[in-house]
Amino acid sequence: MTRRLAVLYALTASVVLVATSAIPYWWFSRRMADEDARALEGRLEELQGMLGQPGGVGAVAAELRRENVAMGPGRFVARIIAPDGSTAVESPDMPPALVAGAL
């Protein structure tokens, strides 16, 4: 009887511990993912605004080069595809594994 109660207590304590740890972890990870999505959305809107201005492709290329130097390689990569399907501009450190046709 005592052994059964000890196992039940250990099992209950484990479930409570996992539940009290998993809920805040899930909440924080969800919040961080939402924050990352908002930051990326804002960055894309900024680049779209640059494209709408005269000389936009050149401005975006300069911005991507500047950002690559300021934040380090791989922080943010982008590739802009022209209407004819060719690559108009891309980040200097765009991974070769991300071929233009795959996007």
Supply the pLDDT for residue 96.
Answer: 67
Say whether both 42 and 62 belong to one domain.
no
Tokens of 96: 């070769």
The number of distinct structural domains making up the chain is 2
- Please compute the mean of the pLDDT values over residues 63-73 and round it to a whole number: 71
Say whether both 37 and 59 belong to one domain.
no
The string of pLDDT tens digits covering residues 9-27 is: 999 999 999 989 999 999 9
Say whether both 36 and 82 belong to one domain.
no
Say whether both 40 and 60 belong to one domain.
no
**Domain assignment of residue 71, given as a range:** 55-103
Say whether both 67 and 40 belong to one domain.
no
Supply the pLDDT for residue 8.
Answer: 94
> Within a 13 Å sphere around the CA of 24, how many CA atoms are in the beta-carbon half?
4
Say whether both 78 and 97 belong to one domain.
yes
95 vs 42, which has greater pLDDT? 42
Residue 32 has pLDDT above 90, yes or no: yes
Supply the pLDDT for residue 14.
Answer: 94
Say whether both 69 and 28 belong to one domain.
no
Confidence (pTM): 0.55
Say whether both 1 and 45 belong to one domain.
yes
Q: What DSSP string runs through 46-99? A: HHHHHHTSTTHHHHHHHHHHHHHHHH-TTSS--EEE-TTSSEEEE-TT--TTS-
Say whether both 45 and 12 belong to one domain.
yes
Supply the pLDDT for residue 43.
Answer: 82
